[in-house]
Amino acid sequence: MNIQFATTDEQLLKCRKTILELRPHIAPDEYLEKAKLLLSEGAKMIYVDGGNDAPAVSVFRVNYYFYRGKNLYIDDLGTHSEQRGKGYAGALLDFTVAYAKENQCENIHLDSGYHKERYDAHRLYLNKGFNLTSHHFTLDLKK
C-alpha cells in the first residue's frame, strides 16, 4: 500500500472527497484553503494513494504537553464509504505509529464520537492497542 504525505495542491485535492465525507460541514470550495491552513499550523496529512481520489486519509500533529509529554494527536482518520473493509485505515494507523516512534513521541491520542457509525472505527482502534482513557469535554464558543 502506497502511503504518501499530502503537501502539494494536487495531493491535497486527492484527499478532498474522503475528508469531505468525514467532515461534511466543510464547503467543497473551502476545502483547499482549510487544508493548507492545517499544514501551515503544523499538521501532517497522509493518504493512501489510490489514483485520482485517496480512498483513506489521516491528519495528525505532534505536540508537547506537561501531562502527556511529546505526543502525536490524530485529528482525522477516515476511509471513504465506497472503499471500506480493505485495510486502508489500519495501514494509515500503522504508518502513524511508526512515524510517532521515529519522532520520539511517548504516546498517540485520538477522539472518536460515540455514534453507531463509528463502531467499526472503535473496533479498529481497540484492535490496534488503543485504550479508552477519558471523556472529552467541549465548550462551544460559537453560540
Where along the chain do its domains lie? Answer: 3-127
- Burial of 9: CB neighbours in 10 Å, binned 0-12, 13-18, 19+: exposed
Supply φ then ψ for residue 107, to 5 degrees: -165, 170
Give CATH superfamily name and number for 3-127: Gcn5-related N-acetyltransferase (GNAT) (3.40.630.30)
Kindly report the pTM of this predicted structure.
0.90
Whether 134 shows a pLDDT value over 90: the answer reads: no
Tens-digit pLDDT profile for residues 78-126: 999 999 999 999 999 999 999 999 999 999 999 888 888 888 888 888 8
Supply φ then ψ for residue 14, to 5 degrees: -60, -30
The SS3 assignment for 14 reads helix
